[in-house]
Chains A and B, each alone.
Chain A
Amino acid sequence: MNVFTLSWRYLWSRPMATVLNLLLLALGLASMAFVLIARDQVDRAFERDLAGIDLVVGAKGSPMQLILAGVFHLDVPPGNIALADVQQLQQHPQVAQLIPLSLGDNLEGFRIVGTTEAYPAHYGARFAQGALWQAPMQAVLGTQVAARTGLRLGQAFVGAHGLGTGGAVHAEAAYTITGVLEPCGCVLDRLVLTATESVWKVHDDMHATEDMDEEDRAALAADREVTLALITYRTPLAAVSFPRFINDSTAMQAAAPAVEITRLLSMVGVGTRVFQGLGAVLLAVAALSVFIALWSAVRERRGDLAMLRMLGASPLRVGTLLLCEALWLAVLACVLGLLAAHGLVALLGDLLMAEQSLAITGWQWVRTEVWVPVLALGVALLAAGLPAFSAYRLDVMQLLNSR
């Protein structure tokens, strides 16, 4: 028997109070940890999707909407831009890479994105099966799309009009699956990729009639549009002048993801602060409750503790016994709290995945989580300080005088 086993037994000699204190403490810690983990995961998800994209160019409208639609595929795009304008941008000396994206259709809610091979290459995508498209009307599925739809290599599917489920089906224009991507934890997981020409072809067919002549087709080709373009600068200095050049002298809009995401996170920040405040209140309540439990434990066990002194235990040993009880509470609450927080983030991840939103996982260790045990220990020691001191200062004479 040592101070740990003994304090453990004392702890569980009052199971009801212990469980309640444990839950209170764990809840407080869980809400704190949840904010830390969720925030970290969202930041990471944003960072992964943003990797190397300096600017998004699209139709005029809300810059945040353009970023959410173009980079994270969470919102609808503000409109389309002319292909000719985009091709001109590609020639601009400050542009190192330009990836055009054409949106418009979906497969069971997953967006079908018309683009070039530069898009999967930008995220370092690797193929689980098959390979990239070689011709229009061939498609590559993200890992989540393949898993959810059950579609396999070589199978055909048709897209539905619009970016949400329930649009009109392009029954006459079927895609053939040429590849399935490996999971990358980025936006590609929940996209269907195809050549830009495929998107044009589907929509041309929708509008074209049998009797369209060559001249009409040529006119159609001249009016080609894409939805937006992802741009990587040749030099960081471009950030100073390039966006202004687009916003002022073209019909397009330029939005810098870094700026918009910082704005978005600062808006979300209010919510996380409220959540953290709630966690702090819970922790304060838990500290008070642990204090009351230990204080009454010292009062109830005054005789037992005095008996320990009589048996030769030093005051320090008796005080440590009380501290150890609080320590056990802290350790257990810490484990429970962290498990709950990770579980909750995992649940949130599942919900987001079901909504085809950001890819986040609850089962990843976040460095800032080291503060959770520190917090737990701090709260427990704060609550146990006075009771332990009172056990330390116990008057053994009371034992001799108790009748």
Chain B
Amino acid sequence: MIQAQGVAFAYAGGQVLRFHDVAVEQGGTVLLRGPSGSGKSTWLALAAGLLTPTAGVLQVADQDVAMLSRSARDDWRARTVGFLPQKLHLSEALTVADNLALAFFAAGLPVDNTAIAQGLAALGVGDLATRKPVHLSGGQAQRVALARALLLRPRVVLADEPTASLDDDACATALQRLQRSAQACGATLVVATHDARVLQALPQAQVLAFDATAREVTV
């Protein structure tokens, strides 16, 4: 589960972001909704343990990430968080299968080729394993990136603007696939978006609003 209470983050310049409280059951879905620059990315970074809250408590997968040391946080992230960035960052130097193997490499685990094949097959891209990302369509690339995010069976999946460049049909399909895949491994899904279509496609999702009220500037 994810639980945020009185979470705030102060940037080096003195600007402070205060976030609404939220509690999401394990396996649930939460939408971070708000315009660009409203602090959604900062919240994602806090949830991934890349930033530390300056106030409040943020528990992700039952862990108060702020309590972990730097290196323990990297390990924790590798095993707990699956991340689907807006720009997919599939390495052009590697094949699709090797891009997935990066997840094992980053986590310091031996590469499990069966898991890679199964992960790709589950998202319908099993036949693309030996291709380079440059030869993939946009939809295929997103599925590969999702397979990588889910490879180590994370407990939380963080998706950053997953529908930004998709038309309406593709948007609905991608979101269903994302939710289905997260549910399949019992992960809590966090989607950061400014896209109104996402709320329609995921009606049961809890919404964490990022707007002027969430943002407090104290210089």
A binding-site residues for B, Cβ under 8 Å? 1-3, 6, 9-10, 12-13, 301, 303-304, 306-314, 317, 396-397, 399-403
Contact = CB atoms under 8 A, between A and B. Distances in A.
Interface in B60-103: 71, 74-79, 81, 83, 85-87, 89, 91-94, 98, 101-103
Contact of A400 (B45, B71, B102): B45
Given A2-B105, A308-B106, A10 B93 contact: yes
B82 to A, nearest CB: 9
25 contacts: A1-B98, A2-B105, A6-B105, A10-B93, A13-B94, A304-B91, A304-B93, A307-B91, A309-B50, A310-B48, A310-B77, A310-B85, A311-B78, A311-B107, A312-B81, A312-B103, A313-B106, A314-B74, A397-B41, A400-B41, A400-B44, A400-B50, A400-B85, A400-B160, A403-B86
Nearest to A403: B86
B45 A307 contact: no
A10 B102 CA distance: 12
A10 to B, nearest CB: 5
B105 A313 contact: yes
A148 B153 CA distance: 74
Interface of B: 41, 44-45, 48, 50-51, 71, 74-79, 81, 83, 85-87, 89, 91-94, 98, 101-108, 111, 148, 160-161, 164
A383 to B, nearest CB: 20
Contact of B98 (A9, A400, A401): A9
Contact of B71 (A6, A308, A314): A314
Contacts of A306: 89
Contacts of B83: 307, 310-311
Contacts of B78: 311-313
B71 A307 contact: no
B41 A312 contact: no
Contacts of B71: 314
A310 B76 CA distance: 11
Contacts of B106: 308-309, 311-313, 317
A2 B104 CA distance: 9
Contacts of B48: 310
Contact of A312 (B79, B85, B101, B111): B79
Contacts of B50: 309-310, 396-397, 400
A251 to B, nearest CB: 79
Nearest to A400: B41
A346 to B, nearest CB: 38
Which residue among B48, B91, B111 has the maximum number of chain A CB atoms within 10 Å of its CB?
A: B91
Given A312-B74, A399-B89, 14 more contacts: A1-B102, A9-B93, A9-B98, A10-B91, A310-B85, A312-B76, A312-B78, A312-B79, A312-B106, A313-B78, A397-B51, A399-B85, A400-B41, A400-B160
Contacts of B93: 9-10, 12-13, 304
